[in-house]
Structure 1
Amino acid sequence: MKPSDFFTRAKANEGERMPLSLPDGTPTDEWLLIRGVDSDQFRVALDDFRRELLAAASIKDEAEKAEKTEAARLRMNSALVIGWSFDIEFTDDALLELLRESPYITAEVDRFASDRRRFFGKRSTGSLKD
């Protein structure tokens, strides 16, 4: 083996397709292109999230604190998504709306991005290089 066998950053930056299902579990042809948690962009977003949490900790109003924390969490998760198959244009605002209004997708993005086997195991039918 060689040290490069353990490298993860470049592959995590490329992204993999994550198939989307409807809330009832029905599979669809839609997908999100997801970076891995070892990607440069996510590591920066994670640092930003931690700073925002520290800043929010000093907020006395619990509702405001919760709102700031949730907004920071959505921004962090949005750093994992780099594209999609929807007919509408992929924009930061459209992505944040999808993640805010579909918490089950946000949770799936987090699980998918954290599963290094999705990025470094055998190529799946959902891979970027189909």
Structure 2
Amino acid sequence: MDLADFDLTAAADRGADMQLEHPVTGEPLLTEAGEKITIRLLGNDSREFRAALSDLAEKQAGKKRQSLAAAEAHSVDLLARLTLGWQGIVYKGVPLEFTRENAAKLYRERPFIREQIDRFIGDRGNFFGNGKPA
């Protein structure tokens, strides 16, 4: 096996669809028409993830501590940057158009979505498919 075959960055940069789940039961969430509600995401090995961490490090340079609110804001910003799009998102009775701003608002107001995204983007198997090189 040639380790050069494992291009995790390329796999994470392609993105993958995460099916949103009910925050308590874990059941897949579906639209009124019975279609999957999905969010398309980049992974932790993506170039965008590393760029976002670099930006955060620059902002935090010289600061000794950050508040919980600031940490949450950074998390929301990071996840919004890793979001490529979505299908079936309805919020407050209205289909929600995908924009980075709308992603940040949704993730800020519904922390259970952030938690699901955190788990999803950290699992290389979601991007690398069956553990085999792409």
TM-score range, shorter chain: 0.7 to 0.9
Corresponding residue number in structure 2 for 1:42: 49
Evaluate the alpha carbon distance shift between residue 23 and residue 10 of structure 1 in structure 2; reply closer, same or farther with a 3 A threshold. Answer: same
Q: TM-score, structure 2 length as denominator? A: 0.76
Q: Select between 105-114 and 65-74 the one with higher mean Cα deviation.
A: 65-74
Evaluate the alpha carbon distance shift between residue 71 and residue 22 of structure 1 in structure 2; reply closer, same or farther with a 3 A threshold. Answer: same
Output the CA distance in 2 between the equivalents of 1:54 and 1:74: 20
Q: Is the 8 A contact 1:20 1:31 kept in 2?
A: yes
Output the CA distance in 2 between the equivalents of 1:55 and 1:101: 30
Corresponding residue number in structure 2 for 1:17: 17
Report SS of the residue matched to 2:20.
strand
Q: Is the 8 A contact 2:79 2:104 kept in 1?
A: no
TM-fit CA distance, 1:73: 1.8
Unaligned stretches of 5+ in structure 2?
A: 30-35, 90-94
TM-fit CA distance, 1:5: 1.3
Q: RMSD value over aligned CA atoms?
A: 2.1
Evaluate the alpha carbon distance shift between residue 56 and residue 32 of structure 1 in structure 2; reply closer, same or farther with a 3 A threshold. Answer: farther
Matched length: 118
Corresponding residue number in structure 1 for 2:92: none
Corresponding residue number in structure 2 for 1:119: 127
Q: TM-score, structure 1 length as denominator? A: 0.78
Which residue identity lines up with residue 107 of structure 2 in the other structure? L
TM-fit CA distance, 1:80: 2.1
TM-fit CA distance, 1:99: 0.7
CA displacement 1:29-67 (0-9 Å, x = unmatched): 2010111111111110112223334455367xxxxx332
Of the candidates 66, 75, 78, which is equivalent to residue 76 of structure 1?
Answer: 78
Which residue identity lines up with residue 34 of structure 1 in the other structure? L
Report SS of the residue matched to 1:99.
helix
Evaluate the alpha carbon distance shift between residue 37 and residue 13 of structure 1 in structure 2; reply closer, same or farther with a 3 A threshold. Answer: same
Corresponding residue number in structure 1 for 2:28: 27
Which residue identity lines up with residue 118 of structure 1 in the other structure? N
Corresponding residue number in structure 1 for 2:5: 5
Output the CA distance in 1 between the equivalents of 2:121 and 2:127: 8
Report SS of the residue matched to 2:17.
strand
Identity %: 33
Corresponding residue number in structure 2 for 1:62: none
